[in-house]
Amino acid sequence: MPISSRFFVQSTTALLLVGFLALLGIVGMTFWLGERAQVYFNEVIAARDARSAAVDLRNALQTAESSQRGFLYTGNEVYLASYGPAKTLAERQLASVNRLLVSYEGLNASLRRLTTVINEKFAEMDATIAMKRDYRDAEALARIRTNRGKALMDEANIFFAGIISATDDRLTTGVAEQRANATLLRLFSIISGIVIVIVIGIAAVTVVRYTRELRRARTEVSVLNAGLEQRVEARTADLARANADIQRFVQIISHDLRAPLVSIVGFTSELQDSLASLRLLADRSGADDPDLKEARAAATELLPEAIGYIRSSSDKMERLINAVLKLAREGRRPLKAEAIDLKEIFTAGAAAIQHQLSEAGGKIDIDLGVPRIESDRFSLELIVSNLLDNAVKYRAKDRPLQIKVRTRPMADDRVEIEVADNGRGIAERDQARVFDLFKRSGTQDQPGEGIGLAHVLTALRNLGGDARVTSELGRGTSFHLMMPRTLAATETIAA
């Protein structure tokens, strides 16, 4: 029975869920047991350290007592050589014992008493040593015979024995808990491992069966793809022919538009030349004739104004035709990939507008996170010159112009180039169409036909990139250019 895609998805999802839950259980149990093991381990370490500190404290106290006795019996200072270090060690180990055993229930009172006993023991030994040094041997001997020092030492030994016994019990309990912890972890890991192996086995059988069916389906698809590739090639050829037809259409339309435009310009020139004769004839005729006055006004005022409008409109139409042809030619230009220093490109672009930049009191800051790329130099120079020229042209009149150029790497081996200015900005309603051909935004107080940014977008898309704009009216504009760090081919024909 064939395995349907729905059954395969549902069964594998269920198996993966079971496996995930088993794995999650292992991880959770391992984490919990690991935390328990860490607690037991810390307790064992603390008990071991406390026991060691108690033993060291007892040894230091005994060493100090032996040193005291030797000095009292002989009066020789050499016996006191170990007294000072032993006393210092005892004080340090007493502090460690108090710190390590603070968590032990019921030991707080005992620890306070142990501290008192040891302090009194050292006070008693210090006093007898001082008496011996002052040659008050009888007083020292009398103090020793009170057996106060022995009683303190015996009491301290009782505390030491209790501490060592308590820490030994804690060590024994900790080791037992560690063993139980390890046994539980081993048992749970075995059970979970068995569950995961079963889940993997069932999933493997399902995948193998489904893969066999996919292989059969792929064979059928390959047969279908053979015919599909031929259809795709045919469609691609059709698109190439359609693109070529569009290019020819643009050239033909531009030629057909230019032909009547040339005639209009020529006849306008002849008409302007004829105005001189009309003005001369009107000036020689009678001044009182109303018709001649009207003819004179037409020859000197109306007709020159009309001819001026015709000329300006003709010039604008000529520029628009040239813009269309320029965009069409850019689409057919071969792209040549070469290593490009972006700083060199922007420095050259800034030098080209240095005069306008100086007049605006402006400056250009260049911060290149990606200093070099491999692309088409002519296209990049065109893009940079248009953007820098736009920044200068649409600057704010009330502040010095500032242009910031930044580059940074992007995912998929791409790079972003940002050209930001503090100019007059673009209204939000106009931002979506600033890259459209013949579209301009804001106050039209600068020369131009609205083709610069359209040209930038065309060139950028030919390089495999794209552009977007962010702007705030009255604050400035940022153009973000996203493009490949490396052109796809060493020489490519732009689509």
DSSP 255-313: HHHHHHHHHHHHHHHHHHHHHHHHHHHHHHS-SS-HHHHHHHHIIIIIHHHHHHHHHHH
Distance CA 345, CA 330 (A): 20
Domain 5-209 falls under CATH 1.10.10: no
pLDDT band at 250 (very low <50, low <70, confident <90, very high): low
Distance CA 169, CA 165 (A): 6
Q: Which residues of 330-368 are buried (b: 16+ CB within 10 A; e: fewer)?
A: bbeeebebeebebeebbeebbeebeebbeebebebeeeb
**CB count in 10 Å sphere of residue 243:** 13
Q: Let me know: does 244 contact 264? Beta carbons within 8 Å.
A: no
Q: Tens of pLDDT along 156-201?
A: 888 888 888 877 887 788 778 878 878 887 887 788 778 778 878 8
pLDDT at 212 over 50: yes
**CB count in 10 Å sphere of residue 476:** 22
Every domain of the chain and the residues it spans: 5-209, 242-324, 334-493
Q: Tens of pLDDT along 400-421?
A: 889 999 999 998 889 999 999 9
Highest mean pLDDT among 12-16, 26-30, 229-233, 367-371: 367-371
Give the three-class secondary structure for 478.
strand
- What is the predicted pLDDT for the residue at 414? 92
The lowest-confidence range among 100-104, 156-160, 168-172, 461-465 is 100-104
How many helices (H) and strands (E) are present in the chain, helices listed first? 11, 8
Q: Let me know: does 40 contact 178? Beta carbons within 8 Å.
A: yes
Q: Let me know: does 84 contact 68? Beta carbons within 8 Å.
A: no
Distance CA 149, CA 141 (A): 12
pLDDT at 288 over 70: no
**CA-based torsion, 293, 298, 301, 304: positive or negative:** negative
- DSSP-assigned beta bridge partners for residue 468: 480
Q: Tens of pLDDT along 298-355?
A: 666 666 666 665 666 666 566 556 655 665 555 556 778 889 999 898 998 888 888 8
- DSSP-assigned beta bridge partners for residue 410: 414
Is 291 or 115 the better-scoring residue by pLDDT? Answer: 115
CA angle, 338 then 479 then 345, to 5°: 30
**CA-based torsion, 74, 78, 83, 84: positive or negative:** positive
Give the three-class secondary structure for 18.
helix
Contacts of 185 (CB under 8 A, 6+ apart): 29, 30, 33
Write out the H or E segment, with its range, that includes residue 237. helix 148-284
Q: Which CATH class is domain 334-493?
A: alpha beta
- What is the predicted pLDDT for the residue at 370? 87
